[in-house]
Amino acid sequence: MAEAMGFYTDTTVCIGCKACEVACKEWNQLPSRNGGVNTLSGDSYDNTRRLDGIHWRHVKFIEQFTEDRKDGRWLLMSDVCKHCVNAPCLEVCPTGAIVRTEFDSVVIQSDACNGCRDCISACPFGVIEVNPASGTAQKCTLCYDRLQGGLEPACSKACPTQSIQFGAIKDLQGRAQKRVDQLQQMGEKRAYLYGADEKMLGGLNSFYLLVDKPEVYGLPPDPKMPTRNLKSATWFSAFGAILVGLMGIINFRNRGAREDAREEQP
Amino acid sequence: MNAFPSSTFFSAPPEWGWYIVFYFFFGGLAGGSYFLAVLIDLFGRPEDRPLARLGYYLSFPCILVSGLLLTLDLGRPERFWHMLIQSNTYQPIFKPWSPMSVGSWALLIFAVFSFLGFLSALAEDGRLKQPAARGLRPPGMLGSLVTGIGGLFGFYVAGYTGVLLAVTNRPIWSDTPLLGMLFVISAASISAASMILLAQKSARNSPGLATLHRLDSWVVALELIVLIAVMISLGPVFRAWVNVWGLVLFFGVIVLGLLLPLALYWRRQWFGDFTMTAAAAAVIAGGFILRLVVVFSAQGV
């Protein structure tokens, strides 16, 4: 495997220009919603609304203002697939359509996907949805085709403020930590990294510098693997089957004793 | 302090809709009725065999409908076989940790067993002139083996859907490990109820019918206990049911589908001959509404 590649997104320098969204759509030839007819969401300057099958980048606008709007701040964040090291979507995919590439990114092969949508419910970040044009689940590919050609992903290339930085995960982690230290020294004590180390799903290959709680950005504070429930759910189901089986055996086995037992029935 | 009761609230709904609700219902019926038929065959008396036959007759069409519903639900129905065979290598794919993968194989294998049960029931009824097919059911060695293994797959088909929901990151579904257990028990209750309804017509005088009534009342009581356990196990996520879905769950499942049939099974004389029919119909309706609530309530969150 080549080196693990990914994104480090410094949300403090994002200006909400959406160049990443446009570059992504253009390179990946993603269709517009409603045939391009503009509809406003009413939610700040965000008319993309969410990541889905035709939006693989989404700039979030979070307004934190006082009631009289005299004081406050914007939180801006370009959201994307996290390319988790332990990827929940890849884990549950029954067709093998979701694979890990040589860049340690997670890619859905559209020609193998049959649109069962298990990955959608498995992704703790709500990244994946069906692209109506293909009928298959789609998301950011970390521009796998560009990476193979030695180019960087379209979004980071287009980002004018270097909020989205692409590179080897090791380099990015060092760079991000320096930036956190710098912000802390400057008095921004809330700055921290989200998903940069292996504690979160083995590490996010697209990690973030944030200045508020994860849920404020619409990110889960504690994302987990879907298979955490597999063993317990299976054992409980088997236990249920055993109970039903015992009830069936008791009831059908000895019909002669049934009349005597009638008084004891629940 | 965390403002959210669970990190599952940041995932996206997979938009599993009516196809899946109906699949959960018919899949439960297919597995449950086969499971009950095997129990009756193995532990019942010879005079109960017509009742067991009903189970095999019910199971096979239900599993066919299930496969059809699942295929139609896919974004690309013509690629249904990708669940079993990798489309780029033509190698089988099996991921034991993914309930969707295991379930696809289990459905296929169970459909074969269900078909064999169906054939043996036809043979015993004299509608299939192949006496050998009768050996596919107990009491013979081969029949006991075939139905025993088939019964295990039947249980799996009835319950894996709940495990599949648990192995996601959606609110409610993945916030309790008990949905699979609830689905298994509910599959048994709706299957027993369906066999009771079918028996009204063809096996009215079967001595096992009263036993089936009693078994269904036991299973419904167990289902009520497990449903309450599900609600408790949800913890703070239970608030996701404090809305219209909670009302549907309370009136449609708890009152209509569980408490009413329990009362009817207990007080058999209430509506004369019609009492058992009403109880069985209520159990079936409740089982359907249960799946409706579980599937849809976790999508709107």
Token pair, residue A221, equals 């504070």
Question: How far is Cα B86 from Cα B74, in angstroms, rounded to an integer?
Answer: 16
Residue B24, domain extent: 12-297
Question: How far is Cα B97 from Cα B282, in angstroms, rounded to an integer?
Answer: 36
Question: How far is Cα B261 from Cα B220, in angstroms, rounded to an integer?
Answer: 8
Q: Which residues does chain B have within 8 Å of residue A220's beta carbon, measured at their own beta carbons?
A: 7-11
Residue B2: inside a domain, yes or no? no
- Specify which residues A6 forms β-bridges with: A167
Which of A75-79, A242-246, A248-252, B62-66 shows the lowest per-residue confidence on average (mean pLDDT)? A248-252
Q: Which residues does chain B have within 8 Å of residue A243's beta carbon, measured at their own beta carbons?
A: 185, 222
Residue B227: inside a domain, yes or no? yes
* Residue-averaged pLDDT of chain B: 93
Average pLDDT over residues B85-108: 97
Of A91, A93, A252, the CB nearest to B208: A252
* pLDDT digit string, tens, across residues B201-221: 776 667 788 899 999 999 999
Provide the residue ranges of all domains of chain A, joining segments of one domain with +.
Answer: 5-224, 227-264
CA distance A146 to chain B (A): 22
What single letter denotes the amino acid at residue B216? D
Average pLDDT over residues B10-25: 97
Token pair, residue A100, equals 């890990």
Helix (H), strand (E), coil (C) string for B13-24: CCCCCHHHHHHH
Question: How far is Cα A198 from Cα A225, in angstroms, rounded to an integer?
Answer: 13
CB contact under 8 A, A227 and B86: no
Q: Give the pLDDT of residue B203.
A: 66
Q: How much is the pTM?
A: 0.94
My answer on whether omega of the bond before B139 falls inside 30° of 0, hence cis, is yes
Examine the pLDDT at A264 and tell me if it is beyond 50.
Answer: no
Q: Does B182 touch chain A (CB under 8 A)?
A: yes
CB contact under 8 A, B169 and A121: yes
Query: Which spans in chain A are helix H?
Result: 19-28, 88-92, 118-122, 144-148, 154-158, 169-185, 230-253, 258-261
Average pLDDT over residues B190-199: 96
Alpha carbon distances (Å) from B63 to A25, A165, B28, B67, B71 = 42, 51, 9, 6, 12
Per the structure, the count of domains in chain B is 1
Q: Does B259 touch chain A (CB under 8 A)?
A: no
The pLDDT-based confidence of B2 (bands split at 50, 70, 90) is very low
* pLDDT digit string, tens, across residues A141-198: 999 999 999 999 999 999 999 999 999 999 999 999 999 999 999 999 999 999 999 9
Residue B115: inside a domain, yes or no? yes
Residue B57: inside a domain, yes or no? yes
Residue B43: inside a domain, yes or no? yes
Examine the pLDDT at A212 and tell me if it is beyond 60.
Answer: yes
Q: Does B76 touch chain A (CB under 8 A)?
A: yes
Q: Give the pLDDT of residue B99.
A: 98
CA distance A176 to chain B (A): 25
Residue B71: inside a domain, yes or no? yes
Task: Render A186-206 in DSSP notation, one character per residue.
Answer: TT-TT-EEES-STTTTT-BSE
**% chain B with pLDDT above 90:** 80
Question: How far is Cα B52 from Cα B33, in angstroms, rounded to an integer?
Answer: 9
Average pLDDT over residues A216-240: 97
Q: Give the pLDDT of residue B134.
A: 83
Indicate left, alpha or beta for A245 from its phi (over 0: left) and psi (-120 to 50: alpha): alpha
Q: Give the pLDDT of residue A174.
A: 97
Q: Give the pLDDT of residue B1.
A: 33
Q: Give the pLDDT of residue B4.
A: 63
CA distance B129 to chain A (A): 30
**% chain A with pLDDT above 70:** 95
Q: Which residues does chain B have within 8 Å of residue A239's beta carbon, measured at their own beta carbons?
A: 181
CATH of domain A5-224: 3.30.70.20
Residue B6: inside a domain, yes or no? no
Examine the pLDDT at B163 and tell me if it is beyond 90.
Answer: yes
**Chain A interface disruption, residue of B47, B102, B181, most A CBs within 10 A:** B181
Residue B31: inside a domain, yes or no? yes
Tell me which chain A residue has its CA closest to the CA of residue B214.
A251
Alpha carbon distances (Å) from A173 to A7, A117, A167, A177, A209 = 10, 32, 10, 6, 11
Residue B5 burial by Cβ neighbours in a 10 Å radius (0-12, 13-18, 19+): middle
Report helix, strand or coil for A60. strand
Q: What ipTM goes with this model? A: 0.95
